[in-house]
Every structure is written in structure tokens, then in C-alpha cells.
């Protein structure tokens, strides 16, 4: 029986599916004529769009670029799609930032539809990456090399962004996958960094799920 290969795209893509679903849900019930309601959506949007922008940049530098170095043009389709997606994200973020709680129901509904159209498009994009780009990464790189890519990504990521990824990835993955990542992080990170991650995760899991995740090694 062959061992399962490392999947570089699985954690961020599951996290993004979680984040996008939360934003889509909130965007559909936001009162765009109410300042407090709009502010709540904007605060969630700051996190979601930050992760979207970060992921595109990370994929360009540490997924698509290494593939292109192995075989020029191999990642051309994905790179072109990233340019299109980045423009859609910027447009949606700018519109969200411009809301001030005086928008009509129709203006809010139109934004909601624009986002859900993007959401649908993005889900198809990352599903294709999961089925094809991931396979190419496994074909051209060993698991050790893929782990090396992840180490470099972590080294270049600011801590605020890292906490955001934990916030959305952990609730979207299996307990054993999360334990593996967290145990490695705890073994290599300063105690205060792990504590910040622990508190972040505690805020997004049920008490029972959090207790099971931390059982035996906290």
C-alpha cells in the first residue's frame, strides 16, 4: 500500500473555502443601510481578502514558479488565471471599503451577487488546482522538496497572516492533520507564538473539539 503524498494546496484551499463561505453567508444577511452591520462585513472582509491576496502571491512564488522552472510554460494557464482573479478580488475589496452604511437594499444585493459570482468562479479555480496543479507538484517534486517549499513560505510570512491561516484552516481540516501541524509548530516556535496560535484556534472551535485537539500534549 503506497503512502499518501504530501498535498501542498490542501490546507490553504480548505481554509479559503471556509473563509469564503463565511463571507458569502454574512454578505447575504448584511443590512447595507446600517453602519454597524456594514462594519461587521468589512471587518470579516479584511481577513478574507487578505488571505486571498496572500494565497495568490504565495502560489505564484512557491508553487507555479518552481513548476515553471522544471518545465517552462507548465503553469502558464494558472498564472494567467491568477491575474484575472486578482483583479476581481481588488474590485470587490474596493467596493466593500466604499460602503458607509447608506447603501440601498438593491446596492447591497448587487454586491452580494457579484461576490457569489466570484465565489463560484474561485471554487472552480481551486478545485482544478487541487486535481491538476497538486498532481504536477507531486510529479516534479519529492515530499522533502515540498516540505522545503512550505518552510520557506513560513519564513517569509508575517505572524498576523500566519494566525489568520490557522483561524480558517484548522476548523476545515481533520483533527489528525491539525495535530500533526500543531505539534511540529510547537516543537519549533517560541512558546509565546504557540500560545497565540492556541488562543486563535480556541476562538474558532467548539470547547469539545478544542479539548480533543489539544488532548494529551498541551
C-alpha cell at 1: 500500500
How far apart CA 166 and CA 45 sit, in angstroms, is 17
**Is residue 169 a part of any domain in this protein?**
no
How far apart CA 88 and CA 72 sit, in angstroms, is 27
Report the helix count and the strand count for the chain, using DSSP H and E: 11, 0
CB 38 within 8 A of CB 30: yes
The dihedral sign for the CA sequence 64, 70, 72, 77: negative
Residues 47 and 95 in one domain: yes
Which residue range(s) make up the domain with 123? 10-157
Angle at CA of residue 35, ends 30 and 39, nearest 5°: 65
Domain stop point among 107, 126, 157: 157
Residues 48 and 153 in one domain: yes
Task: Going residue by residue through the chain, which has 218 residues, state the pLDDT in tens, using 9 for 90 and above.
Answer: 345 789 999 999 999 999 999 999 999 999 999 999 999 999 999 999 999 999 999 999 999 999 999 999 999 999 999 999 999 999 999 999 999 999 999 999 999 999 999 999 999 999 999 999 999 999 999 999 998 998 899 889 999 999 999 999 999 999 999 999 999 889 888 999 999 999 999 999 999 999 999 987 65
| b/e sequence 21-53, b meaning 16+ C-beta within 10 Å | eebbebbeebebeeeebbeebbebbebbbebbe
CB 213 within 8 A of CB 175: yes
Q: How many CB atoms lie within 10 A of CB 115?
A: 21
Whichever domain contains 14, its CATH number is 1.20.120.520
Residues 133 and 83 in one domain: yes
pLDDT score of 21:
98
CB 23 within 8 A of CB 45: yes
Residues 129 and 80 in one domain: yes
Residues 110 and 185 in one domain: no
Residues 141 and 201 in one domain: no
Q: How many domains does the chain have?
A: 2
Query: How would DSSP label each residue in 179-211?
Result: HHHHHHHHHHS-HHHHHHHHHHHHTTS-HHHHH
pTM over 0.85: yes
**Is residue 49 a part of any domain in this protein?**
yes
Residues 35 and 86 in one domain: yes
**Is residue 3 a part of any domain in this protein?**
no
pLDDT score of 1:
39
Amino acid at each position: 500500500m503506497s503512502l499518501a503524498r504530501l498535498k501542498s494546496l490542501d490546507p490553504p484551499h480548505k481554509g479559503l473555502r471556509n473563509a469564503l463561505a463565511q463571507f458569502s453567508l454574512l454578505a447575504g444577511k448584511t443590512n447595507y443601510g446600517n453602519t454597524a452591520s456594514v462594519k461587521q462585513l468589512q471587518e470579516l472582509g479584511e481577513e478574507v481578502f487578505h488571505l486571498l491576496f496572500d494565497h495568490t502571491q504565495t502560489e505564484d512564488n512557491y508553487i507555479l514558479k518552481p513548476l515553471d522552472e522544471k518545465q517552462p510554460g507548465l503553469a502558464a494557464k494558472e498564472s494567467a488565471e491568477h491575474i484575472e482573479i486578482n483583479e476581481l478580488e481588488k474590485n470587490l475589496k474596493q467596493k466593500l471599503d466604499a460602503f458607509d452604511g447608506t447603501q440601498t437594499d438593491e446596492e447591497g444585493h448587487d454586491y452580494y451577487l457579484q461576490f457569489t459570482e466570484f465565489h463560484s468562479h474561485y471554487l472552480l479555480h481551486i478545485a482544478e488546482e487541487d486535481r491538476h496543479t497538486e498532481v504536477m507538484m507531486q510529479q516534479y517534486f519529492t515530499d522533502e522538496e515540498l516540505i522545503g517549499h512550505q518552510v520557506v513560505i513560513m519564513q517569509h510570512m508575517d505572524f498576523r497572516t500566519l494566525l489568520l491561516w490557522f483561524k480558517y484552516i484548522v476548523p476545515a481540516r481533520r483533527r489528525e492533520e491539525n495535530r500533526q501541524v500543531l505539534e511540529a509548530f510547537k516543537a519549533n516556535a517560541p512558546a509565546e507564538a504557540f500560545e497565540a496560535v492556541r488562543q486563535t484556534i480556541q476562538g474558532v472551535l467548539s470547547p469539545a473539539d478544542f479539548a480533543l485537539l489539544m488532548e494529551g500534549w498541551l
